[in-house]
Amino acid sequence: MTNFDRTHIWHPYTSITNPLPTYPVKSASGSRLTLEDGTELIDGMSSWWCAIHGYNHPVLNAAAETQLGKMSHVMFGGLTHEPAIRLARQLVELTPDPLQYIFFSDSGSVSVDVALKMALQFWHNQGRPEKHRMLTVYGGYHGDTFGAMSVCDPITGMHKLFSGAVNKHLFAPRPEPQFGSTLTATDLEPIQQLLETHNNEIAAMILEPIVQGAGGMWFYSAEYLNAVAQLCKKYDVLLILDEIATGFGRTGKLFASEHAGITPDIMCLGKALTGGYMSLAATLCNERVRDGISANDGILMHGPTFMANPLACNIASASIDLLLKSDWQQKVATIEQQLTHELGKYCSHDAVADIRVLGAIGVVELHKQIDIAEAQKAFVAAGVWIRPFGKLAYLMPPYTINTTDLSKLTSAIGLILE
């Protein structure tokens, strides 16, 4: 099995002719993965941050089984169904009040593409087609489709190869003030200058609120985010917040934008939306964006085949209920405290450049690039699943993880420091 996998199947961000090792998974339950050879691994990644309730959860299993008995899929063009309506109602209630209108899609990257389309179509329908560029910051990551790639970091990101093929947008410096710090007089100058100079051509600003995820696991000031939101209003630029990685409690707030007390014009959700069971995403917007897109009988030109998949919607609805009925805030706070204490012991290590913790996210940044293949071999031998990238070894465990398992994860980080 593994030989066929190695020679015929591409895995993400790897070569198919010289692939990284892969470890066959037989089953998963709670916060543990069981490999085909019987090895048990404590999962520190929540399967790229989405399995917030852990694996094989009886409530989510039941939601899947119940929906399977009715229908697994039906096209959303000209039809609708109760799971989508129920989930939409939940999302409208959960998100800030102005976000009342929802477009479902099948992945986070696509939800970003939809958000960009919304912004472009909004201004086109206002008779302002010259407002066709996006503004964002360096260090960001928004997905791997062409629209999403165009607003990812074009220099240090994963898509430099495609720089000549994607749309050219405007980039401000990465927000330097760290989370919890106060803004200085000069922190906003670069972005204010770009808005002042280019506001007549900028359709929207897109940001990952508070946490820049796959672009570098950087946690920036809530004051910065709040100030940027005010600048967008001043210069009449739409604000898009990509909450795909941060939504549903990961930073200690239900949505990371709550740290700054702001509401975007457009919000993207994904990843933990279904608790890691199926791919599903949503793009929400306010009344102004809705009316702008719909002016002159405007039609939003997007329609994924598996849009609002009933099976995914039913599981997502159950996942949201499960989250809200749990004491998720206390669980995330407890994880944050433990990560702060246990990762903090690496602060003085010569190999460590920085340590950052926010909510259920713990990051150890090294001075040098990590050899991923060797690191994962060491992690698996230690009974944990951690997937580093670049100079970063980080943890984003399920909220349901116990303190003993989390300690094993934090201890395992020490393996790569040597």
**The pair of three-digit structure tokens given for residue 315, joined into one six-digit string:** 């599981």
Active site residue 242: yes
Give the DSSP letter string of 55-85.
BS-HHHHHHHHHHHTT-S----SS---HHHH
Contact 83, 321 (CB under 8 A): no
* Alpha-carbon Rg for the chain in angstroms: 21
- Per the document, the length of the chain is 418
**Residue 140 tokens, joined:** 């960001």
Give residue 235's identity as a one-letter amino acid code: Y
Q: CA–CA separation, 199 vs 3, rounded Å?
A: 54
Among this protein's residues, is 297 annotated catalytic? no
Q: Contact at 8 Å (CB) between 196 and 235?
A: yes
* Residue 188 contacts residue 231 (beta carbons within 8 Å): yes
Say what the alpha-carbon torsion angle 382, 385, 389, 391 is, to the nearest 10 degrees.
Answer: -40
Query: Which region holds residue 97: left if phi is over 0, alpha if psi is between -120 and 50, else beta?
Result: alpha
- Choose, from 106, 138, 153, 271, the residue flagged as catalytic: 271
Strands 133-137 and 40-43, by their bridges, are: unpaired
Structure tokens at 102: 């929802």
Cβ proximity of 125 and 295 under 8 Å: yes
Joined tokens for residue 209: 């609120």
Report how far residue 168's alpha carbon sits from residue 166's, in angstroms, rounded to the nearest whole number: 6
Q: What are the tokens at 104?
A: 């479902």
Q: Of 101, 141, 277, 394, which residue is the catalytic one?
A: 141
Give the β-pairing of 202-207 and 25-29. unpaired
Look at residue 118 and give its three-state secondary structure: helix
325 is an active site residue: no
Strand partners, 171: 136
Active-site entry in 43, 113, 153, 242: 242
Instruction: Find where tokens 């465990």 sit.
Output: 397
Half-sphere exposure of 296 (CA within 13 A, CB side): 7
Helix axes 403-413, 328-343, angle to 10 degrees: 30
Q: Which residues of 372-387 are buried (b: 16+ CB within 10 A; e: fewer)?
A: beebbebbbebebbbe
Annotated catalytic residue: which of 13, 160, 168, 236? 13
Does 346 qualify as catalytic in the annotation? no
Active site residues: 13, 141, 242, 271
